[in-house]
């Protein structure tokens, strides 16, 4: 008897839920769509209406593909013309050949709570969480595997992309307070989850990694320096600016092999053997002379300019 009552209650609940979904969501015209252009800017997402929907649905036709130049551009421009739609508080859904979107509108006419967006072309489904019209979170899945996740917390927009196995491959962060709309930090990832590269657009820096976690290459445009390493951590080369000199260094198995520094008045080229300085040459741009010094800084010989300019004064 108890089991029968539970079964009856369950059937009633399912019937009631189906009835709610069928009755409480009002269908909107197929020409309506969710404008997601403000997602990464932390702006309100809006419902819009394609005013020339009859043109829009023919956008992929052979007739349109055969249009040339300005005529085709004018067609697409007109096909995408849209107007903002104001909806009253309630539950709605849009269903057309491109997508299905089920959502709620609050008393202020803004998107609220959960919205479910199904892309009919890719087969993916995104679940948005709206707060005052802003998508504070979204999770997109395809075949039950997460494809992309976004979040907005304390003016930081975060986007994560995943491969077909659900492994994180790209992560972007945007500080909306800084403006510009460009990702402030971007990271890419190996299949096992380890970071393969990190880009910081605020500091103008970039770091790439070997799969073992060792730094492969590091550059900073603001600081004007860069380094490159072997997988075992030994340095290959580096460049930097110091005391007005622009310098570059080359290494073999982590030991310095050569070094070159230049400034507006002179160029210095150093030669090493097993990491130890053997001699260095200085080209004076004013008198166009080259002087050679030993490791202790004493002049060892003087060499004609034509012998050294091609290699030292580049």
Q: Mind listing the pLDDT tens digit for each residue in 6-42?
A: 444 444 444 444 543 444 899 999 999 999 999 998 9
pLDDT in tens, 59-81: 999 999 999 999 999 999 999 99
What does pLDDT average to over the chain?
88
pLDDT at 299 over 90: no
Q: Say if residues 174 and 184 touch (Cβ distance below 8 Å).
A: yes
Q: At 14, phi and psi to the nearest 5?
A: -65, -45
Residue 182: predicted pLDDT: 66
The pairing of beta strand 134-142 with beta strand 125-131: antiparallel
Domains of the chain: which residue ranges? Answer: 25-118, 163-169+178-231, 234-314
Give pLDDT, residue 203.
84
Q: Is the pLDDT of residue 46 over 50?
A: yes
Percent of the chain with pLDDT strictly greater than 90: 70
CB 99 within 8 A of CB 38: no
The H or E element spanning position 75 is helix 69-79
pLDDT at 19: 45
Question: pTM (2 decimals)?
Answer: 0.69
How many alpha carbons fall within 13 Å on the CB side of residue 198? 15
Give me the numbers of helices (H) and strands (E) for the chain, helices first please: 5, 24
Residue 2 is predicted with a pLDDT of 42
């Amino acid at each position: 008897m108890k089991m029968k009552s539970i079964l009856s209650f369950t059937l009633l609940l399912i019937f009631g839920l189906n009835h709610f979904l069928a009755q409480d969501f009002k269908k909107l015209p197929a020409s309506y769509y969710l404008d997601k252009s403000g997602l990464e800017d932390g702006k309100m997402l809006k419902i819009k209406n394609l005013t020339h929907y009859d043109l829009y649905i023919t956008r992929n036709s052979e007739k349109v593909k055969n249009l040339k130049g300005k005529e085709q551009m004018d067609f697409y421009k007109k096909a995408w013309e849209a107007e903002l739609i104001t909806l009253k508080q309630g539950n709605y859904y849009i269903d057309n050949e491109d997508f299905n979107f089920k959502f709620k509108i609050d008393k202020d006419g803004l998107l609220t709570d959960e919205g479910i967006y199904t892309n009919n072309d890719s087969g993916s489904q995104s679940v948005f969480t709206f707060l005052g019209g802003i998508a504070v979170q979204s999770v997109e899945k395809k075949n039950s595997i997460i494809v992309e996740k976004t979040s907005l917390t304390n003016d930081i927009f975060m986007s994560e992309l995943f491969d077909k196995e659900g492994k994180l491959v790209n992560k972007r962060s945007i500080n909306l307070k800084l403006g510009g709309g460009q990702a402030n930090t971007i990271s890419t990832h190996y299949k096992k989850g380890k970071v393969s590269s990190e880009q910081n657009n605020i500091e103008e820096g970039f770091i790439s990694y070997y799969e073992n976690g060792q730094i492969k290459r590091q550059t900073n445009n603001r600081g004007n320096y860069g380094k490159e390493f072997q997988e075992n951590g030994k340095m290959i080369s580096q460049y930097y600016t110091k005391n007005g000199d622009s310098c570059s260094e080359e290494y073999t198995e982590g030991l310095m092999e050569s070094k070159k520094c230049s400034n507006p008045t002179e160029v210095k080229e150093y030669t090493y053997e097993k990491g130890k300085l053997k001699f260095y040459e200085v080209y004076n741009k004013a008198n166009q002379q080259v002087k050679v010094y030993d490791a202790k800084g004493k002049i060892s010989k003087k060499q004609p300019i034509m012998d050294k300019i091609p290699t030292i004064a580049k």
